[in-house]
Chain A
């Protein structure tokens, strides 16, 4: 995590995400798990030189793309489909828009009940023997005579998919293809994450008013080449450090 200062001098914690050679690898029409008007677009990220299986190498050769380390699918409407091989740049995102970021959370291993479910444990003294961090009772007596399914107990915590919603894009770097997103993102450094436009801000709420319509289906390469290197989100509003005059 890093920090950015906006035009009023307010410091915002940011996470820096990189779009490392993100290219469209395959377009799948009429898939079984995709609702009818939508089309699945497979996107690859980060070129890798490791050994790949022959089927995978053939898959990338078909697309005319260097072997990618990670492949992900997005379901889009037919008018948003990009030709195979198009590169998606950081300028695809508009500074000031909201995004959702999905990534596997950090694994915590076999976690006890206090960490996993915020149980309060048992007293540290007053006679408690050998059970300070345990769950205590797991149910009633002969009626029902069993432990209910889904009872909160110790077990593996973390390593599963987590989504953080409504993160604001504060800045875009066009040379290094970086997106500065306000706040934290699940997972550890150098991990693959999945970014999409905020689902809970439909239509025009997702983007700042002067950037509607956003780049659709993605931004033209000519426009990107003429853009300045860094684009900051506009903060606007009143200076928060000036006391309000009564």
Chain B
């Protein structure tokens, strides 16, 4: 099965597989804040300059705390939770989906001692102050692009 998982993984040229490996210094752990950029559709990758369609841009971004990582070979997925306009939103992403553009770690979690952080749904504490991190990341990207 490991051979099959390896053959069917998403062959994008980034290090998604290492990020979600079971061991490794730089792996993602529950409690880390992640920013995931997804393509809205495969057409937006193939025809990026198509102005006739009604979609404004080809990518969507979602940032949140990783509250669960489910390792199931090809089906490995993780759930991000964020509070947007006072509404809690959770989204599940499959690592090997071709619609995922990039996964970035905005900050590492500290003091989380569980594999699944479902208790954050009832006791959020200070966990969801993520807006500042996203803004900093956007400024950093803009600065890097303008250089």
Q: Does B75 lie within 8 Å of A3, measured CB to CB? A: yes
Contact B75 A9 (CB under 8 A): no
One of A9, A230, A243 near B55 (C-beta < 8 A): A243
What CA separation (Å) do A242 and B45 show in the bound complex?
12
Provide the A203-246 mask, 1 if CB < 8 A to any CB of B, else 0: 00000000000000000000000000010000000010111010
Question: A5 and B54: CB pair below 8 A?
Answer: no
Are the C-beta atoms of B42 and A7 separated by less than 8 Å? yes
Asked whether, in the complex, the Cβ of B42 is within 8 Å of the Cβ of A9, the reply is yes
Q: How far is the CA of A239 from the CA of B10 in the complex (A)?
A: 20
Please tell me the number of chain A residues within 8 Å of chain B, measured between CB atoms.
18
A16 within 8 A of B: yes
A5 near B96 with CB under 8 A, answer yes
A74: B residues at CB distance < 8 A: none
Does B130 make an interface contact (CB < 8 A)?
A: no
- Chain B contacts for A239, CB-based, 8 A: 41-43
Q: B94–A11 contact, CB under 8 A?
A: yes
Interface membership of B40, Cβ < 8 A: yes
Interchain CA distance A230-B7 in the complex, whole Å: 10
Chain A CB within 10 Å, residue with most, of B8, B41, B96, B98? B8
| Contact B4–A16 (Cβ < 8 Å) | yes
Complex alpha-carbon distance, A149 and B55, angstroms: 63
If A2-B4, A173-B7, A230-B7 touch, whether A242 touches B94 (CB-CB below 8 Å) is: no
In this complex, what residue of B is CB-closest to A246? B54
1/0 contact string of B83-110 vs chain A (CB within 8 Å): 0000000000010111100000000000
Instruction: Note all chain B residues with C-beta closer than 8 A to A230.
Output: 7
Q: How far is the CA of A189 from the CA of B98 in the complex (A)?
A: 28
A11: B residues at CB distance < 8 A: 94, 97
* Nearest CB of chain B from residue A75's CB, rounded to whole Å: 33
Question: By the criterion CB–CB under 8 Å, are B53 and A245 in contact?
Answer: yes
Asked if B74 is at the interface of the complex by the 8 Å CB criterion, the answer is: yes
Determine the distance from Cα of A16 to Cα of B8 in the docked complex, in whole angstroms.
12
Q: Mark B51-72, 1 if CB is under 8 A from A, else 0.
A: 0011100000000000000000
A2-B73, A3-B74 known; A241 and B41 CB under 8 Å? yes
Does A56 count as interface, using CB distance less than 8 angstroms?
no
Chain A residues with Cβ below 8 Å from B3 are 176
**A11: shortest Cβ distance to chain B, in Å?**
7
CB < 8 Å: which of B4, B43, B74, B96 contacts A242?
B43
Which residues of the other chain, A, contact B98 by a CB distance below 8 angstroms?
A: 5, 9
Give complex CA distance A4, B89 in Å: 26
Q: Does A178 contact B (CB under 8 A)?
A: yes
Residue of B nearest to A180 (CB): B8
Bound-state Cα–Cα, A176 to B4, Å: 9
List which B1-57 residues lie within 8 A (CB) of chain A: 3-4, 7-8, 10, 39-43, 53-55
Q: Is the beta-carbon distance between A245 and B74 smaller than 8 angstroms?
A: no
Residue of B nearest to A1 (CB): B75
Contact of A2 among B10, B40, B55, B74 (CB under 8 A): B74
Asked if A2 and B53 make an inter-chain contact with CB atoms under 8 angstroms apart, the answer reads no
Q: Which chain A residues border B39 with CB–CB below 8 Å?
A: 9
Q: Which residues of B contact A (CB under 8 A)?
A: 3-4, 7-8, 10, 39-43, 53-55, 73-75, 94, 96-99
A-B CB contact pairs (8 Å), 21 listed: A2-B74, A3-B94, A3-B96, A5-B96, A5-B98, A8-B41, A9-B39, A9-B42, A9-B97, A9-B98, A16-B4, A173-B7, A176-B3, A239-B41, A241-B40, A241-B41, A242-B40, A242-B55, A243-B54, A243-B55, A245-B54
| Besides A3-B94, A241-B40, A242-B55, 4 other A-B contacts (C-beta < 8 A) | A2-B8, A7-B42, A11-B97, A243-B55
